[in-house]
Amino acid sequence: MATQPSDKVKDLLAKNNLDVEQLIEKMNLAAVSLFGSGWVWLTLSGENNLEIKSCSNAGNPLTDNLTPIITIDV
């Protein structure tokens, strides 16, 4: 059973012209496009914009001043 995102996350998705299905599709595409091991992150910038960020190996979005929301371990 899939859990639905909070209202805050739904509002952020709407602000960024995305819905839950589009987010899942974009994150999955980023994950299968990542070569080797790494992570795909849904992040929040200081301007409250959502970004999908791929990082190899031990990389993470904190080094780019982004707030991680969810991740996929590849």
Report pLDDT digits (tens) over 39-61. Answer: 999 999 988 899 999 998 888 99
Q: Which residue has the higher pLDDT, 36 or 3?
A: 36
Give the CATH fold of the 7-73 domain.
minor pseudopilin epsh fold (3.55.40)
**What pLDDT is attached to residue 10?**
86
Q: What is the dihedral of CA 38, 41, 58, 47, to 10 degrees?
A: 150
**What pLDDT is attached to residue 1?**
47
**What pLDDT is attached to residue 2?**
60
Q: Where are the alpha helices (DSSP H) in 1-74?
A: 7-15, 20-33
Sketch the domain layout of the chain as residue ranges.
7-73
